[in-house]
Structure 1
Amino acid sequence: MTKNLIGYSNPVLPGFYPDPSIARAGDDFYMICSSFEYFPAVPIFHSRDLAHWEQIGHVLDRDSQLDLRGRRSSDGIYAPTLRYHEGTFYMITTDVRGIGNFYVTAKDPAGPWSDPIKVPYGGIDPSLFFDDDGKVYVTAQQGADYDSHAIQYEIDIATGNALSEPVVIWKGDGGPWTEGPHLYKIKGMYYIMTASGGTAKDHREIIGRSASPYGPFELYPHPILTHRGIEHPIQYLGHADLVEAPNGDWWAVFLGVRLVDSGYSVLGRETFLAPVTWNDEGWPMIDNNEGTVNLEMSVPRLPGKPEETMSAPTAVFEGKDHFEGPELPYGWTFLRNPAKDSWSLSERDGWLSLHGQSAGLNDVGRVAFAGRRQQHVQSEWSTLLEYATIGDGEEAGLCARRDEDAHYEIFLKQEGGRKSVGVRLTARGESRMAAEVPVETDRVYLKIRTSVTDYELLYSMDGQEWVPLGGGSARALSPEDFVNKMCFTGVVIGLYASGNGKPASGAAQFDWFEARIG
């Protein structure tokens, strides 16, 4: 008789949630992801079954922990690692172009987390390992391209001070960008696992093992995770982390990309889950071009109780935010640290008020922007905007944003005392007005409709009859369409306001924000 299988869907965190790292405390699992220029930073999720995740906060949610004000897109927070040891949670990461490598601690993973404790060495992607003898190691990426490798050194976990000099312990499999190193001790052996090949078609996860934490490490001759050799709807697999469930099963979380037919994805790098098996030689196996990592998975069992799985929450947003609580839901994110008093949920009850700053969507600065990650290729996003205090040169609206070089927005603006609704399209760093219609109102409904190939921007005066005003290609908002600088983020759909060179005279107010899937 065939045992009943349990199904779950990949990705377990859809949308721009790359570089996952996972830790277990008892029966509870916690997971974090990279956040780059967005704030609060390092979203943290909780699960009992690994397949269903609920966001419980952010690790870095105070200006004293992280200052992103001058950071370009795709800088900021890279590849955090989450670990749990003797009642304390540790998150170590890199603030690129900022303070470098540091870690923070918490007794409760929902926070509060400590201020940063810096560590002295490493390029990006630091990881922590707590050995049985009480020693604590930092393992980090160093070097670039084909010179990329992993270094390691011992630290005092109370202070972050190095107790040994860094040494090179791992050079990977000969490919470029050996990164995202994690050290584990499993059944008396030390395993080092890293990504290789860069986050694109050649991305893969590789592994080595040794009797010593410093090696030398025997390289397993094949990737333990990749789809680089097969045609498959999920590509770029890698940058993985391992976790053991209470029942002894092993699992891996890792990033992947759901490419559309012509080879891009506006959703960016997402978080996937797969079971780990151990071969006869004691190596962990996930999916080396077998195609077992799929959008729909079937496994003999998941951790946790079946009744918990049936009622588990989801990290997918669909529905309407009415802005009625004292705080924005955890799925919301700002573009860099928001300026003081640039947003409010209490200025007008049941509305989100945004005070436009001098910076606009093309600028590296403190833009008044709050949004949610796009999690599905086909979706609709809408809002009701009232801007009674709008002044000349000011605007506010709804935006689909990849970074400074790629974003589409539909907005209400005023010039020379006259109001209009406009659509602006920015691709590859070049902006153009696609359409503009005069209006005699300070109240307008705005919508962005997304598909596999296009974004369509619409407006309405009554919320019933929608007028298409412009549109642009989806490819132009994908990370694959970068020009001058690699892009590591997916699209975030959000509300924004700008004084276009000066602080706005009043607040743009949004009554609700709605997402529909399909």
Structure 2
Amino acid sequence: MKRYGAPVMAILLVGSLTAACGGNESENSVYTLVIEASGEGTTDPGPGTYPHAPGSLVTVTATPAAGYNFLGWSGAVTGLDDRVTVTLDMDKTLTATFGTAFEPTTYQNPVLPGDHPDMNIYREGDAFYLVGSTFHMMPAFEILRSTDLVRWERVTRVVHSTAAALKQQTGPGQGTWGGFIVKANDVYRVYYAIGATQYFSSAPSLEGPWSEPTQVDIFPYTPPGSDTAYERGTGSDNSVFVDPDSGKTYMLIKNGLCKWDADHPNDFGINLVTEIDPDTGMLLPESSIDMSFVNWDQETGGCGEFSNADWSKWGEGPTMTKRGDWYYYFISTHTACGGQLHAWASKKLVDSTPEDWTWLGYVLTGEEPYAGVQHITAPFELEDGTSWAFAHSYDCTGAGAEGEKTWSNGEWMGLGREGLLLSIDWVDQEVGGQTIPVPQFTAQGRELPAPALPRSGVPFLLPVNDDFTSDEIDPAWTTYDKSENRYSVTERPGWLRIDPGADRTTWVVQKEALRSSSMVVKMEFTPRADGDAAGVRLGNGYWRDEQVLSAPTWMTSGEGFTLPAIMEVSVARVMEDKEDRIRFSFRSRSVKPASDAYTELDEPVVEGESVAAPPGEAVWLKLVRTDHKATGWFSTDGVRWTQVGREIDISALDHFYAMAHTWVGNQAGMFATNKSADFDLFTYRDGFTQIQAAEANQQSGTDIVSTEDVGPVLGGLEAGDWAMYGSVGLGGGRVSTKAIELRASSAGEGGVVEIWLDPLAGGSAIGTCKVPGTGGWDRWTTTTCDVKPTTGTHDVYLKVTGGKGELLRLTSLRFVPTR
């Protein structure tokens, strides 16, 4: 006979008497509270069944086990407070759920969304530093830091537009190109190109403060076959190589294209490996190793003879490493969809000749969407023996058939050249009669094994959400031209003031990094005269119409090319015809085609509408964009929104080829014209606006599923799978989040979604959401679940738990605000 403890026997007896007497609930002398614990944790009182008199108040506390988190109550009470009180007015069950944060073991590219071209990497201890081209976005020369190679943070910016070296070099496509870091005699130097000439700035630490640019001395070069020495500058997109055998530090110099030709004596390419003097930072010309032969032959990656040049075969972005007995020299072809990386190998560096180097062929092309992978950093090895490199590529979605080299524009080329992390295997191959370890790079995709490194513990790098409460402006913010002194966070503490001056516009912007964003600003601004305007915007690298006339003249209207154009979509408060209005518009202006030069602009094309502005200076503006469509909104409280006009197709901006204008990707942020405006808030990814579930920045175990009715969705969600959405704004001040809406489908019984904030930085879950079965994968329903009241900017993780097999598909998520 099974024996029960006394409390359980009492419960059984009372239950039997109640049933025998007809089950009149009002006559019950006791109710039961069943307490359950799911996962690693316990409760006080512990899990069990407890009788209580009707109307009793029972307090229960949840305590997670070490390394686990309390995820919430379900049943009699819901919520995330670890202590709750249950009123016993009937039999009830209370369940405490515990779970653990997750340690990602995989990653997906891009790890650096948005424009991160021409990168070089430097390591010091556990920290890695990345630098690259910033061009005319000021301040220039951004330094990034990471410990795990996946999550990065900005350290500083080095060069301001007021630097004397940048005189007449802050226009479109100018500024600083490339860059690398050198440390010598306890002094850090960062090198970069201005006008195809190298400069450096010095500092006692990588955080600065940085000196004004110092020009690296130029030295003459005599090309093979010529009796004349030429000054070819010191190059752009250079890198650094430290020879592990000699300890010497070399600059890898690149300038120009193709083989020297007596008929074109000033148009040829040089590729030199020249030692850097550790004391002065200058070059030692007599040490130069001439690698210019990489430009001579089209078949081995160069342009070839100038008179018959293949301009798609460039020898640019050189990097170098040594592995075992072999030196490896990497160079890139054209910087577009279809661009490639090729490599040379030699057992000899100093005094080497072209005969000492073996061409390894094209070692990296990439696959759609990143079908133009090149400009790798020097490959580097971690302590576990794995090898890695960073590279850039445009998102070339739709640019051509898989594996096909093409110059056509991709669907998202407007984002610029995004940063990809690549693992490398070295495989012995017979090349030119020698056995040489040849690098093989991982295909770019999802579920890539992550480096075994200490976790960075910083947010995923996306445009920052900013309330401007800091004494210094965040280094994510940049501007065009020499407008740095036109904005401030100190003139009105807690606000960003943009003061462009009369007949001017000043932009304060960051790199556009998402295919679906919802930018919100809170602004105080009252236009006084026609032309006054301020608001939120997204645009490409030009900022004044006439600048497109100086675009590269080799751009034509032929198939696969885009004529230079200025494009901008914005939501702004403006004065139009002496009326205070809210305007949503997409403006573009292109050059007229010409055979040899751009001499005339087409008329501007403006699409959009405006409505009367609300009373008062304060207004919230919102620019939402997804799937190449944009909408504009305004609000008087940041919660209730009014749409301005209709949806506008901005696909021309999204796929615009940055090389056709200013080398940079699209920029998102704020602007003011003619009159100062104050901004109290900028949110790049508003959590109170629907977020497309397929636009996860990192994920594990998920698939992107195409559907006819709602487009791409996040599918394949099984127990343990998760998706992360970076830089989600969840309110601040009087506005916070109180619930989450998940739009999902399930052909089975559904599943549970845990909502985590910043788990890699010690965060925890703010709620769980039971999503029911919907009767089919094409049947969508919205489930709303309470979450712990939250504000601020967070990396939001959705983690699925439940049964076996595919449990859910998600089309969108949205947080619900409260005030």
TM-score, length basis structure 2: 0.55
Q: Does the residue aligned with 1:437 lie in a helix, a strand or coil?
A: strand
Q: Does the residue aligned with 2:652 lie in a helix, a strand or coil?
A: helix
Mapped contact 1:10–1:296 kept (Cα < 8 A): no
Mapped contact 2:584–2:644 kept (Cα < 8 A): no
Q: Does the residue aligned with 1:44 lie in a helix, a strand or coil?
A: strand
Q: Does the residue aligned with 1:476 lie in a helix, a strand or coil?
A: helix
Distance 2:319 2:351 in 1: 13
Deviates more, 1:11-20 or 1:150-159: 150-159
Question: Any unmatched runs of 5+ in structure 2?
Answer: 1-102, 219-232, 260-267, 303-312, 400-409, 429-434, 543-565, 591-603, 686-690, 693-819
Mapped contact 2:370–2:397 kept (Cα < 8 A): no
Partner residue of 2:254? 141
Q: Does the residue aligned with 1:80 lie in a helix, a strand or coil?
A: strand
CA shift digits 1:459-516 (9 cap, x unpaired): 3344312213355433322464569x444221211111121xxxx3xx2011101122
Partner residue of 2:417? 269
Partner residue of 2:177? 78
Distance 2:215 2:166 in 1: 15
Alignment CA distance shift 1:214-1:458 (3 Å): farther
Partner residue of 2:533? 395
Partner residue of 1:41? 140
**1:254 CA drift (Å):** 0.6
Distance 1:473 1:151 in 2: 47
In the alignment, structure 1 residue 234 sits paired with structure 2 residue 376: no
Alignment CA distance shift 1:478-1:72 (3 Å): farther
Q: Partner amino acid for 2:645? A: L
Distance 1:49 1:368 in 2: 36
Alignment CA distance shift 1:225-1:34 (3 Å): same
Distance 2:503 2:634 in 1: 24
- Indicate the structure with greater helix content: 2
Partner residue of 1:249? 386
Mapped contact 1:68–1:337 kept (Cα < 8 A): no
Alignment CA distance shift 1:137-1:495 (3 Å): same
Partner residue of 1:351? 495
Mapped contact 1:122–1:151 kept (Cα < 8 A): no
CA shift digits 1:269-312 (9 cap, x unpaired): 1111011222224435243xxx622143125xx2423xx35x34
Distance 2:528 2:350 in 1: 62
Q: Which of the residues 186, 209, 215 maps onto 2:345? A: 209
Distance 2:447 2:168 in 1: 40
In the alignment, structure 1 residue 159 sits paired with structure 2 residue 280: yes
Mapped contact 2:488–2:497 kept (Cα < 8 A): yes
Distance 2:380 2:203 in 1: 20
Partner residue of 2:107? 8
In the alignment, structure 1 residue 332 sits paired with structure 2 residue 483: no
Question: Any unmatched runs of 5+ in structure 1?
Answer: 361-366
Deviates more, 1:165-174 or 1:23-32: 165-174
Mapped contact 2:176–2:194 kept (Cα < 8 A): yes
**1:455 CA drift (Å):** 2.6
Distance 1:214 1:31 in 2: 31
Mapped contact 1:27–1:246 kept (Cα < 8 A): no
Distance 2:512 2:672 in 1: 20
Partner residue of 1:414? 575
In the alignment, structure 1 residue 129 sits paired with structure 2 residue 273: no
> RMSD of the alignment, in Å?
2.9
Mapped contact 1:37–1:335 kept (Cα < 8 A): yes
Q: Which of the residues 100, 105, 111 maps onto 2:208? A: 111
Distance 1:17 1:253 in 2: 10
Alignment CA distance shift 1:259-1:480 (3 Å): same
The runs of 4+ residues in structure 1 deviating greater than 6 Å are none
In the alignment, structure 1 residue 437 sits paired with structure 2 residue 606: no
**1:140 CA drift (Å):** 1.7
Larger RCO (CA within 8 A; separation ≥ 6): 1
Distance 1:303 1:87 in 2: 29
Distance 1:27 1:496 in 2: 39
Q: Does the residue aligned with 1:489 lie in a helix, a strand or coil?
A: coil
Q: Does the residue aligned with 1:258 lie in a helix, a strand or coil?
A: coil
CA shift digits 1:420-443 (9 cap, x unpaired): 222342324335263233436333
Q: Does the residue aligned with 1:283 lie in a helix, a strand or coil?
A: strand
Mapped contact 2:633–2:641 kept (Cα < 8 A): no
Partner residue of 1:294? 445
**1:135 CA drift (Å):** 4.3
**Higher radius of gyration, 1 or 2:** 2
Distance 1:37 1:316 in 2: 20
Partner residue of 2:559? none
Alignment CA distance shift 1:182-1:268 (3 Å): same
Alignment CA distance shift 1:326-1:69 (3 Å): farther
Q: Which of the residues 461, 466, 480 maps onto 1:321? A: 466
Alignment CA distance shift 1:128-1:220 (3 Å): same
Q: Does the residue aligned with 1:477 lie in a helix, a strand or coil?
A: helix
CA shift digits 1:303-333 (9 cap, x unpaired): 423xx35x34321246x42111112222222
Partner residue of 1:450? 625
| Equivalences for residues 478-489 of structure 1 within 5 A | 478=654, 480-481=656-657, 485-489=660-664
Alignment CA distance shift 1:246-1:118 (3 Å): farther
Alignment CA distance shift 1:296-1:91 (3 Å): farther
Task: Give the fraction of aligned pairs with identical amino acids, expressed as a percent.
Answer: 24
CA shift digits 1:187-246 (9 cap, x unpaired): 3533211112x111221121112202453352433222212xx5x222210100122324
Q: Partner amino acid for 1:82? A: I
**1:68 CA drift (Å):** 6.8
Mapped contact 1:149–1:179 kept (Cα < 8 A): no
Matched length: 486
Distance 2:141 2:105 in 1: 30
Alignment CA distance shift 1:168-1:336 (3 Å): same
Partner residue of 1:26? 125
Partner residue of 1:169? 291
Q: Which of the residues 128, 152, 157 maps onto 1:53? A: 152
Distance 1:58 1:135 in 2: 28
Distance 1:38 1:51 in 2: 24
Mapped contact 1:139–1:182 kept (Cα < 8 A): yes
Q: Does the residue aligned with 2:390 lie in a helix, a strand or coil?
A: strand
Mapped contact 2:301–2:342 kept (Cα < 8 A): no
Alignment CA distance shift 1:20-1:178 (3 Å): same
Distance 2:438 2:497 in 1: 51
Partner residue of 2:55? none
Q: Partner amino acid for 1:108? A: S
Distance 1:514 1:237 in 2: 31
Distance 1:71 1:468 in 2: 35
Mapped contact 1:43–1:58 kept (Cα < 8 A): yes
Mapped contact 2:345–2:360 kept (Cα < 8 A): no
TM-score, length basis structure 1: 0.84
Q: Partner amino acid for 2:271? A: A
